[in-house]
């Protein structure tokens, strides 16, 4: 049984295998083998085969899939994702500056939106929808500044409304009713 922290993500295309994200917990391997000079370890608790390939930790469901991934040639035409600064709009309409680090999932069968991995100012890594990311441009800088001013004004007005509501006369039922 896989760990609840494991999440599915696309595997190496030439193997057709599904990989697991790098959020896998570290456990003591039950079994270890070597293929083409690369150590592959089986983690019984997660029921997964782990190995390091081209500087990245990889996960496969079977030993056969792990060996196929190791034997597959390195992608030649793959351009590395360039880390890019962007604005990220949170659910509550607050907008923060983040760094987009990679594509998490492209549109496919289950989704029509692209997902990205980002790192926020506190170095937290999050997977977000591309529809919530915005370019850092002079126009967007001005709009984000205006949004922040509006948010502060709304917070101030909310506080004013609370103070006004505290001064309302309390309800008392009429004395001639039971």
Residue 29's domain comprises 8-71
pTM score, whole prediction: 0.50
If asked whether residues 60 and 108 sit together in one domain, one would say no
CATH number of the domain enclosing 125 = 2.30.30
Q: For 16-53, what is each residue's pLDDT tens digit?
A: 334 444 445 456 778 889 999 999 999 888 888 988 88
Q: For 47-85, what is each residue's pLDDT tens digit?
A: 889 888 876 778 899 999 999 989 988 777 777 788 999
- Rg of the chain (C-alpha set): 26
Q: How many Å separate Cα 85 from the centre of its chain?
A: 15
Say if 124 falls within a structural domain.
yes
Say if 161 falls within a structural domain.
no
């Amino acid at each position: 049984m896989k760990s609840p922290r494991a999440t599915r993500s696309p595997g190496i295309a030439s193997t057709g295998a599904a990989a697991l994200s790098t959020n896998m917990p570290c456990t003591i391997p039950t079994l270890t083998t070597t293929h083409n000079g690369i150590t592959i370890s089986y983690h019984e608790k997660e029921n997964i085969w782990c190995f390091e390939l081209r500087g990245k930790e990889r996960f496969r469901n079977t030993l056969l899939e792990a060996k196929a991934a190791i034997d597959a040639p390195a992608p030649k035409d793959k351009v590395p994702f360039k880390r890019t600064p962007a604005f990220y709009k949170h659910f509550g309409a607050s907008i923060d500056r983040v760094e987009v680090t990679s594509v998490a999932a492209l549109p496919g069968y289950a989704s029509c939106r692209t997902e990205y991995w980002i790192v926020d100012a506190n170095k937290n890594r999050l997977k977000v929808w591309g529809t919530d990311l915005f370019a850092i441009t002079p126009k967007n800088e001005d709009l984000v500044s205006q949004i922040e001013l509006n948010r502060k004004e709304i917070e101030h007005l909310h506080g004013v409304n609370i103070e006004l509501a505290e001064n309302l006369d309390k309800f008392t039922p009429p004395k001639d009713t039971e």
